[in-house]
Structure 1
Amino acid sequence: MGNQQNGQGSDGSNQQIDIDATIRNGREILFQAFNWESHKHNWWRNLERKVYDIAKSGFTSAWLPPVTHSFSPEGYLPQNLYSLNSSYGSEQLLKALLQKMKHYKVRAMADIFINHRVGTTRGHGGMYNRYDGIPLSWDEHAVTSCTGGLGNRSTGDNFHGVPNIDHTQQFVRKDIVGWLKWLHDNVGFQDFRFDFARGYSPKYVKEYIEAAKPLFSVGEYWDSCSYNGHGLDYNQDSHRQRIVNWIDATGQLSTAFDFTTKGILQEAVKGQFWRLRDPQGKPPGVMGWWPSRAVTFIDNHDTGSTQAHWPFPSNHIVEGYVYILTHPGIPTVFYDHFFDWGNSIHDQIVKLMDIRKHQDIHSRSSIRILEAQANLYAAIIGDKVSMKIGDGSWCPAGREWTLATSGHRYAVWHK
């Protein structure tokens, strides 16, 4: 779609400058502030104690778990969208947390789950597809016909087992916009993360962003990479093209999680670093085509945590962070790695973030890949940082380089 075909990002065009008001200056570092088990641990109070560390480390935005009432404790089966009492804590505790984040200038990112919603009463066909007795009291016409409602067919993929929301209906979109504006203007969420973005047309994401005006948005467009009988294909262009097309169709207003980079990186660190250079000599994920819209990450509450649907190899976590925190794109750090995997990993991540900030690596920084072989990957980013991962030996040529940090299977230099 648009000018993204064949992997052409539009970072250089003049038209991009206006759009970039929403993407900011490319110096974000995001923090995913929960995992799949967080609802068991008095979460808003736990996070409030950690806000200072999150801010001091340099995170610009913290993505919180779903804050509204849900049929499931994790929050992803929403019901009463206007109730801020959840299994993560009370409305009062949430507001105290948001106040503290605001004080320390960490933006709060809301998890926006508008693909499906659990009904309160049975309607058409004996399904729970009515929402009586709670705000946004929709009837069966708000639910897609493919998931038991009287609405139109879905404009995306179905999330099975629960009623899927029909975004083609004007009244539904009006109510969603009202809710998003309330989260932004009244509750205090400046950033949005769109859950299960494959479930409805990206043109609605564009409409919602334009109406609610978050400072930063990221979509979860997650589908499968391409595999063959021997494992992951080297060429993942069709995978990254689908993510790029989704970003383009949001009017380029949203970023997207770079699932392509995650899929390739977690195979590369096992001794296949040749995967980290595509045939054009660029990084092989969305980051290589449209870095200002690529939100890179290693694991999240779905891929890692106790769900472990697609986990990053645990003994290579730091190499993964060395890659995403020194490279273009917008990196994300996962709660578990930062707070639960020991002080050493926490401190190594903070050091890498520090180098990124002080050498002014940002989402559009230039990159030259110098080595991509089985046991070694090396690159120079923004002309000020060089790095290597893997157990092959390498260091940058020239006396102007100083070792900034190093550890097991990695080293980073700056000028």
Structure 2
Amino acid sequence: MKRLFSLLTSMVVSLTMMAQGWPAQYEGVMLQGFYWDSYTDTNWEKLASQADELSQFFELIWVPNSAYANSTSNNMGYHPVYWFNHRSAFGTEAQLRNMISIFNQKGLGVIEDVVINHRASVNSNWLNFPKETYNGIEYQLTAADICNNDEAKDNGYNPTGAADTGEGWGGARDLDHTGENVQKNVNAYLDFLLHDLGYKGFRYDFVKGYAAKYVGQYNKTAQPEFSVGECWDGNKTVVTNWINGTKQDGVIQSAAFDFPLKYYINDAFSQGKWSRLNDGCLANDNNYKRYAVTFVDNHDTGRFGECPLYANVEAANAFILTMPGTPCVWLSHWKAYKTTIKKLILTRKAAGINNQSAILTKSASTNGYVLNVEGSKGKLLLLLGEATADTNGYKLALEGTNFKLYATENVDLSALEDIHEETFVAPSFCTVADGEVCAFFEAPTSWTTVKCWAWDANNNYTGGAWPGTTCTKVGANNGKKVWKWTYSGSLTTLPKYIIFNNANGQQTADLNFKNGGYYDEAGSLQGVVTDIRTINTIHIQPLSSTAIYTLSGQKVGGTPHRGMYIVNGKKYVVR
């Protein structure tokens, strides 16, 4: 009897610990595995094929909403129609299940993008929702489950639910979470995600659309290992009030994205306002850093017209990967700075930094910032900008543009030695002639034309009349059209800045110009296109009598692996 009581007690404690929003002392790092319109680049099969690599660095991967939204092409899924049918623009349900299974086997938990603030109808009838079956029980929403102040009431419909408990959303019908039937449907949906599909946790979309207590209730019932809410607000109090609002029986039920810190990161890394990193956010508050999911950008903020960080992106990722909280790396940054981010993650893990690690020093000056954090295995010292500090007792782990990261001497950094620089390989249709001044841009799918505006302090390189020179479409990559701008004037200098726009009010921010630069739709510089020739290893075999060297000048013996090499004085890429 005593053993049975102990077992039951253990089970209750275990369940209670799981239901506390986000694990304590958590050392994991999350990847946001998509960007807006990344259907080709991040379909389920392509993500699954990267499981071996991703699982070496990340414990969690957040994927887009997989529920069927009445279309399997060019649809991000944020207006779901079905909850128990999971075919989408990213793949079939079978492909989804296979991806989740592979990730779970590799120890990489999948976080679903849960959209329960609103629901779309199956056709032009705004209140026509599908009947679905799960575990032998039928589920369906009706007009009685839609908030009575939803836009439907002004368009010939009669929603009869209670008033909305949060902000409205005009794109789909706002659900009445006070109602028993909505709660029944949501609880079944979340159970399906966890116990049928195999997700490990939830990213709740647009949580300002309904009262926080409902996320708490749903999580207490579903018991996800991980839960994070998109409380998009730069005011820390708003975010902490939401976190506290999820409490059930006095226990917090969900973490939140640290949006206040995101805005401070923009100010610090793009404008040099380093003191902003000391302002109030979740990650530097001992009461809330456990529930802080930090990020530099995501699929929303990183889009054109939103609030992406364009400057010092690498250094900003170094910052969140040194701070407490659970860092969430955006896929676009992972692709652009993969080598550096891999080393940053390994350094964080080597020092034992977790979401509740102690910040020993956070000091801002006019020219930089010093951050000192203590992990379970050592300390990390991050110098940003031109900041300096006493590094006695520390060793340099890695450095990049505007950052240096040190670890105490006892920290084992040997894993970093296995990380080698990855070469950017542009699409084959991107070419640069000798002496050509140009740039490439992977445009949003909605853009039908692309203009370029390039300038420096003294000159304009695109005609001097906005919106600038028309770019040329040169091909498509990952489902995105790629456009090229080439300078055709007589100036012998290079532009300092560049903007891409659609001649219809949408544009990137002011980007630093890099000749031959390949920019994604968020304005991130993915790499530089050169006149380097691309060849396969089988084409090198006949050159066995010719010396092959690495970029550092070391002679290569045998068949070279993937990377960049010097052959007969020219650069070659081996894929």
TM (norm. structure 1) is 0.85
Q: Which residue of the partner structure matches residue 314 of structure 2?
A: 318
> Structure 1 regions of 5+ residues with no counterpart?
1-16, 226-238, 279-283
Rounded Cα–Cα distance in structure 1 between residues aligned with 2:211 and 2:30: 25
Q: 1:394 aligns with which of 388, 391, 402?
A: 388
Matched ranges for 1:1-400 at <5 A? 18=17, 22-24=21-23, 25-41=25-41, 43-57=43-57, 59-71=58-70, 73-120=75-122, 128-134=126-132, 136-147=139-150, 148=152, 149-223=159-233, 225=234, 239-251=235-247, 252-269=252-269, 270-278=271-279, 284-289=280-285, 290-305=288-303, 307-313=304-310, 315-339=311-335, 341=336, 345-382=337-374, 384-390=379-385, 392-398=386-392, 400=393
Asked if the contact 2:143/2:161 (under 8 Å) is kept, the reply is yes
Asked if the contact 1:121/1:132 (under 8 Å) is kept, the reply is no
Rounded Cα–Cα distance in structure 1 between residues aligned with 2:18 and 2:224: 13
> More displaced, 17-26 or 159-168?
17-26
Q: Which one has the largest radius of gyration?
A: 2
1:138 Cα deviation (Å)?
A: 1.5
> More displaced, 17-26 or 43-52?
17-26
SS in 2 for 1:378: strand
Question: What amino acid is aligned across from residue 46 of structure 2 in structure 1?
Answer: N
Deviations 1:203-242 (A, max 9, x none): 110111111111010000003x3xxxxxxxxxxxxx1011
Q: Which residue of the partner structure matches residue 228 of structure 1?
A: none
> More displaced, 136-145 or 239-248?
136-145
Q: Which residue of the partner structure matches residue 435 of structure 2?
A: none
SS in 2 for 1:144: coil
Rounded Cα–Cα distance in structure 1 between residues aligned with 2:296 and 2:362: 23
Question: What amino acid is aligned across from residue 363 of structure 1 in structure 2?
Answer: N
Which contiguous aligned blocks of 4+ residues in structure 1 show a shift greater than 3 angstroms?
17-22, 132-136
Deviations 1:371-393 (A, max 9, x none): 30222100210161111111x24
Cα distance change on mapping 1:133 and 1:212 into 2, 3 Å: closer
Rounded Cα–Cα distance in structure 2 between residues aligned with 1:248 and 1:380: 29
Cα distance change on mapping 1:302 and 1:121 into 2, 3 Å: same
Question: What amino acid is aligned across from residue 297 of structure 1 in structure 2?
Answer: F
Higher relative contact order (CA closer than 8 Å, sequence separation 6+): 1
Asked if the contact 2:32/2:331 (under 8 Å) is kept, the reply is yes
Cα distance change on mapping 1:20 and 1:113 into 2, 3 Å: closer
Deviations 1:121-150 (A, max 9, x none): 56xxxx602314555322101111111321
Asked if the contact 2:21/2:228 (under 8 Å) is kept, the reply is no
Rounded Cα–Cα distance in structure 1 between residues aligned with 2:370 and 2:86: 47
SS in 2 for 1:287: coil
Percent sequence identity is 28
Question: What amino acid is aligned across from residue 140 of structure 1 in structure 2?
Answer: A
1:407 Cα deviation (Å)?
A: 1.3
Counting matched residue pairs gives 367
Rounded Cα–Cα distance in structure 1 between residues aligned with 2:48 and 2:17: 35
Greater share of residues in helix: 1
Cα distance change on mapping 1:22 and 1:84 into 2, 3 Å: same
Asked if the contact 1:111/1:193 (under 8 Å) is kept, the reply is yes
SS in 2 for 1:66: coil
Question: What amino acid is aligned across from residue 64 of structure 1 in structure 2?
Answer: V
Rounded Cα–Cα distance in structure 2 between residues aligned with 1:333 and 1:370: 22
Asked if the contact 1:401/1:413 (under 8 Å) is kept, the reply is yes
SS in 2 for 1:276: helix
1:26 Cα deviation (Å)?
A: 1.7
SS in 2 for 1:38: coil
Question: What amino acid is aligned across from residue 145 of structure 1 in structure 2?
Answer: N
> More displaced, 179-188 or 136-145?
136-145
Question: What amino acid is aligned across from residue 89 of structure 1 in structure 2?
Answer: G
Report the RMSD for the aligned CA atoms in angstroms: 1.8
Asked if the contact 1:371/1:377 (under 8 Å) is kept, the reply is yes
Rounded Cα–Cα distance in structure 2 between residues aligned with 1:187 and 1:244: 31
Asked if the contact 2:61/2:108 (under 8 Å) is kept, the reply is yes
Cα distance change on mapping 1:64 and 1:42 into 2, 3 Å: closer
Deviations 1:98-138 (A, max 9, x none): 1110111100111110001112356xxxx602314555322
Deviations 1:311-330 (A, max 9, x none): 112x3111111110001111
Deviations 1:139-196 (A, max 9, x none): 1011111113211110010111321111010111011101100110011001110000
SS in 1 for 2:174: coil
> Structure 2 regions of 5+ residues with no counterpart?
1-15, 134-138, 153-158, 409-575
Rounded Cα–Cα distance in structure 2 between residues aligned with 1:393 and 1:64: 37
SS in 1 for 2:260: helix
Q: Which residue of the partner structure matches residue 433 of structure 2?
A: none
Asked if the contact 1:264/1:275 (under 8 Å) is kept, the reply is yes
Rounded Cα–Cα distance in structure 2 between residues aligned with 1:22 and 1:371: 30
SS in 1 for 2:53: helix
Asked if the contact 1:71/1:118 (under 8 Å) is kept, the reply is no
Asked if the contact 1:69/1:83 (under 8 Å) is kept, the reply is yes
Cα distance change on mapping 1:132 and 1:386 into 2, 3 Å: closer
Question: What amino acid is aligned across from residue 192 of structure 2 in structure 1?
Answer: W
1:396 Cα deviation (Å)?
A: 2.5
Asked if the contact 1:41/1:88 (under 8 Å) is kept, the reply is no
TM (norm. structure 2) is 0.62
SS in 2 for 1:379: strand
